[in-house]
Amino acid sequence: MIRSMTAYASAESTTPLGLLSCELRSVNHRYLELSPRLPEELRALESQLRERVAAKLTRGKVDLGMRLRSSGAAASGLQLNEPLLGQLAQAAAQLAPRFPNLSVDFVGLLGVDGVMVKPEVDQSELHADALALLDRALDDMVATRLREGERLAGFIAERLDGIAAIVVQVRGWLPEIRAALRQKLETKLADFRQGTDATRLEQELVLQLSRIDVDEELDRLSAHLAEARRILKLSDANGRRLDFLMQEFNREANTLGSKSVDQRTTQAAVELKVLIEQMREQVQNIE
């Protein structure tokens, strides 16, 4: 099963500090490149998050975003620092005779450093929640990559079948093409047969036929087809293997075109290049 590098996944969970959300986006890339965006409470967790991602993804440019949004329950956990308020009240009472017009603004009072106290949060619990949330999002992303990979595999398999059909066609044309070329060469050489060594002429004819022989290219194309189908069934990340194989396909198609002496094989070489380019574009998205 092949996996695509293009996918999206998200997950949410409730924590003591509020609603924690995780988003993952990935696109194709030669290697695994992770770009995390984390709230302050989770920055110490970055190395562990990277390890979790690398354990399940091998290639792709991955954007990881986590957000922590305070919920009503988390906000209601704020408490007043009663001892500090008592000290402030005592100070106000002492200053009142000297400043009879002294007034206290409620909002300003709450803004005094230390008046509002946030309950201590268990960081280990928050970190565990974040890691579990990432695992959920990663599982969803892997499943999405697999589904997209199935679509890509079907697309590539269709092009492989098209290449196989062209190979069979060209093989069927070869005897006729060789016979026509032989007849054409013999006609051209007929004027030179007088006083010319017949053996030498035969050798020249064989040489010309060997230069346009494409049996080897067709054999290699068949071998590449078998290898591509084998790779599509592997469970490992195989995008690089397929990418390399596309170069080999293209090399044989180019050679087939350069050796062509018949309009049919020339057109076949062009059709091969079209199919190979279509595959190559999709292979770029495979992990």
* Cβ contact 162:275 at 8 Å: yes
* pLDDT for the residue 84: 78
* Cβ contact 129:20 at 8 Å: yes
pTM reported for the whole predicted model = 0.74
Q: How far apart are CA 154 and CA 271, in angstroms?
A: 19
| Assigned token pair, 105 | 């603004």
Dihedral sign for Cα 49, 53, 54, 55, please. Answer: positive
* pLDDT for the residue 82: 80
Q: How far apart are CA 286 and CA 231, in angstroms?
A: 12
* pLDDT for the residue 262: 87
Kind of pairing between the strands at 79-80 and 60-69: unpaired
* pLDDT for the residue 11: 96
* pLDDT for the residue 32: 96
* pLDDT for the residue 198: 61
- Going edge to edge, which strands form the sheet with 60-69? 7-15, 18-27, 60-69, 32-37
Residues of the chain whose pLDDT is less than 50? 73
Q: How far apart are CA 60 and CA 148, in angstroms?
A: 14
| Most distant pair of Cα atoms in the chain: their distance | 138
* pLDDT for the residue 284: 94
Q: How far apart are CA 64 and CA 51, in angstroms?
A: 13
* pLDDT for the residue 26: 97
* pLDDT for the residue 193: 59
SS3 string, 120-172, reads CCCHHHHHHHHHHHHHHHHHHHHHHHHHHHHHHHHHHHHHHHHHHHHHHHHHH
* pLDDT for the residue 278: 97
